[in-house]
Amino acid sequence: MNEAFPDIQKIQYEGPKSKNALSFKHYNADELVGGKKMKDHLRFGVAYWHTMRNTLSDPFGVGTAQRPWDDGTDSIANAQKRARVCFEFMEKLGVDFYCFHDRDVAPEGKTLAESNTNLDAVADVLEAEQQRTGKKLLWGTACLFAHPRYCQGAATSPNAGVFAYAAAQVKKALEVTHRLGGEGYVFWGGREGYATLWNTNMKRELDHLARFLHMAVDHAKKIGFTGQFYIEPKPREPSTHQYDSDAAACLNFLREHGLMEHLKLNIETNHATLAGHTMRHELEVAAAAGALGSIDANTGDELIGWDTDQFPTNIYLTTQIMLALLKAGGFTTGGLNFDAKVRRESFEPVDLFHAHIGGMDAFARGLKIAQAVIEDGRLDDFVKKRYATFDSGIGAKIEKGEVGFAELEAHVLQFGEPFLASGRQEFLENLINEFV
Ligand code: XLS
Ligand code: NI
Ligand code: NI
């Protein structure tokens, strides 16, 4: 096959002084940070739907993307060719993982059987390319939001036939993910919510969603898939309200339905901001529950109220993400999947490289800064000391559950007004900026 990017060689690390736009200034895959290779900390992934399939259309205009290797048809041959191009892209970029929806890689057929055959035909190529290159599948998923049958939901559709169709589709997507050695499987419920409560039985829909996830867990067991399941929070878009609206809502749902041991969270930056939270907040909520699984790395535009899925370039953001991640012990099955698209104005193939290189360099810097902050120790030390009154005396008794209101009343009557130290927010912000 002719190369899709004939003018682009493998992207090399050239260091911060390089003026070569197609080089890494900070991401140096094998460099050790805190005793671990950068590539093993970051586990970057390419999102097939954006990088290979996004035409860069918007609600006001058609697609602008120039993808000379793609003939624009729904043929299997075209889908297989695209799959090979994706691996050429990953090889040249030096990214080890990719993620896909079933319908990104292969066209939907007229029947489920036809769709499954199409998917198998492309999975053949994906498998061969994985073997040729050593690249791996970070996670697979099923597109349960594009086809008109899912317009009222998939697992939360009011229609049992639609529920069944979605289940059949996930069954196949799970089997293909398993066949390709996928390290995880994601549920993002774009239509699992409502457009209006006037026609919605929320309790029944949530119970159906839980049944659906239990069926997925059962099927994974049946086929021997031991990868990690994730649920990806997002508050809205395309639905008015999505049930998996943020990390806390997802965790509550998982706990209520006995699913905590089976699913972790895949946290996406732009979804966090749509939910009115910072990315760091969402990561810390997930981590506190032992459920920080994977990350969809992108960023939104603060002036636009929708999921703009931009590539992350803000070092302050990547620093916060990497601090939260390192604190939680790093990735096991997860990774940093660039769920991001180039702008509609950036329509040439080379822009895909600029975008990913920028994201990888931004995360490499975030990683190095976060590691330096941790090694410095002042931040951790401050936070630890802030809670020191709970380390001994009455505080330790509170934490151990040894005292109640009566003992605490006696404590206050004896010792009076507590001494409260400053929160030192500005001091800490300055401290972080020493490293950025
Ligand atoms: C959409 C979601 C989607 C998931 C995968 O906003 O981010 O891309 O990551 O279904
Ligand atoms: Ni995502
Ligand atoms: Ni998104």
CATH number of the domain encompassing residue 167: 3.20.20.150
| Residue 3 belongs to some domain of the structure | no
Q: Do 384 and 369 lie in a common domain?
A: no
Say if 277 falls within a structural domain. yes
Q: What is the pLDDT of residue 91?
A: 98
Measure 43 CA to ligand 3 centroid, in angstroms.
Answer: 19
Residue located nearest, by CA, to atom 4 of ligand 1:
188
| Domain match, 305 and 388 both | no
In a domain, 5, yes or no: no
d(CA 339, ligand 2 centre) in Å: 5
305 and 389 inside one domain: no
In a domain, 118, yes or no: yes
Active-site residue, 178 included? no
The rounded distance, in Å, linking the Cα atoms of 337 and 351 is 18
How far lies 350's CA from each of 34, 44, 340, in Å?
Answer: 33, 19, 15
Q: Name residue 13's beta-bridge partners.
A: 24
Last residue of a domain, one of 360, 376, 392: 376
Ligand 3 center–CA 196 separation, angstroms: 22
Alpha-carbon distances of 281 from 56, 136, 156, 263, 269, rounded to whole Å: 30, 30, 28, 19, 10
Indicate which ligand has the atom closest to the C-alpha of 139.
Answer: 1
- Of the three residues 353, 376, 399, the one that is the final residue of a domain is 376
Domain-ending residue, one of 376, 402, 422: 376
Report yes or no: 312 and 363 within 8 Å, Cβ to Cβ. Answer: yes
- Domain match, 269 and 387 both: no
- The total of structural domains in the chain comes to 2
Token digits for 71? Answer: 């003939």
Q: Which of 41, 101, 271, 281 is catalytic?
A: 101
436 residues of the chain, pLDDT tens digit each:
789 999 999 999 999 999 999 999 999 999 999 999 999 999 999 999 999 999 999 999 999 999 999 999 999 999 999 999 999 999 999 999 999 999 999 999 999 999 999 999 999 999 999 999 999 999 999 999 999 999 999 999 999 999 999 999 999 999 999 999 999 999 999 999 999 999 999 999 999 999 999 999 999 999 999 999 999 999 999 999 999 999 999 999 999 999 999 999 999 999 999 999 999 999 999 999 999 999 999 999 989 889 999 999 999 999 999 999 999 999 999 999 999 999 999 999 999 999 999 999 999 999 999 999 999 999 999 999 999 999 999 999 999 999 999 999 999 999 999 999 999 999 999 999 999 9
Does residue 364 sit in the same domain as residue 384? no
The span from the CA of 386 to the CA of 407, in Å, is 23
> Do 81 and 69 touch, CB atoms closer than 8 A?
yes
Q: CB under 8 Å, gap of 24 or more: what pairs does 72-80 form?
A: 74/107, 75/107, 76/106, 76/107, 76/118, 76/121, 76/122, 79/105, 79/106, 79/107, 79/118, 79/121, 79/122, 80/121, 80/122, 80/125
Q: Which domain holds residue 397?
A: 380-433
**What is the SS3 string spanning 337-382?**
EECCCCCCCCCCHHHHHHHHHHHHHHHHHHHHHHHHHHHHCHHHHH
Instruction: For residue 193, tell me if it sits in a domain.
Output: yes
What pLDDT is recorded for position 407? 98
Q: Which two tokens stand for residue 316?
A: 């302050």
Per the rule left: phi > 0, alpha: psi between -120 and 50, beta: everything else, 424 is left
Strand partners, 127: none
- Residue 58 annotated among the catalytic residues of the structure: no
For residue 216, give both structure tokens.
Answer: 């997925």
On whether residue 1 sits in a domain, the answer given is no
Q: Is the CB of 188 within 6 Å of ligand 1?
A: yes
Distance 268 CA to ligand 2 centre (A): 6
What pLDDT shows up at residue 27?
Answer: 99
φ, ψ at 39 (rounded to 5°): -65, -30
Compute, in angstroms, the gap from residue 209 CA to the centroid of ligand 3: 20
Q: Which residues contact 23 (CB under 8 A, 6 or more apart)?
A: 11, 12, 13, 14, 357
265 with 370, same domain: the answer is yes
The mean predicted confidence, pLDDT, of the chain is 98
Same domain, 228 and 300: yes
Class of residue 222 by CB neighbours under 10 A (exposed 0-12, middle 13-18, buried 19+): exposed
C-beta of residue 96 within 8 angstroms of C-beta of residue 39:
yes
Rounded distance between C-alpha atoms, residue 223 and residue 40, angstroms: 28
Can you tell me which atom of ligand 1 is nearest the CA of 268? 7
If asked whether residues 393 and 366 sit together in one domain, one would say: no
244 lines ligand 1 (CB under 6 A): no
Nearest protein Cα to ligand 1, atom 2: 188
Residue among 296, 337, 341 to mutate when testing ligand 1 (max atoms within 8 A of CB): 296
* Shared domain check, 221 and 274: yes
Which amino acid residue places its CA nearest to atom 8 of ligand 1? 339
Q: Ligand 1 in contact with 53 (CB < 6 A)?
A: no
- For the question of whether the overall pTM of this predicted structure is more than 0.85, the answer is yes
In a shared domain, residues 304 and 388: no
Same domain, 384 and 350: no
295 assigned to some structural domain: yes
Is 387 found in the same domain as 353? Answer: no
What pLDDT, on the 0 to 100 scale, is given for residue 284?
Answer: 98
Task: Give a yes or no: residue 7 inside a domain.
Answer: no
Among 96, 104, 309, 361, the active-site one is 104
Model pLDDT, residue 2 = 87
Confidence at residue 113, expressed as pLDDT on a 0 to 100 scale? 98
Pick the atom of ligand 1 nearest to 141's CA. 10
pLDDT reported for residue 308: 96
Reported in sequence order, the residue ranges of 188-297 that DSSP labels E, i.e. its strands, are: 193-194, 228-231, 241-242, 263-268, 292-296
Collapsing DSSP to helix, strand or coil, 175 comes out as: helix
Ligand 1 in contact with 307 (CB < 6 A)? yes
Indicate the residue type of 106: A
The position carrying tokens 């099923």 is: 142
Q: Is 298 in the pocket of ligand 1 (CB under 6 A)?
A: no
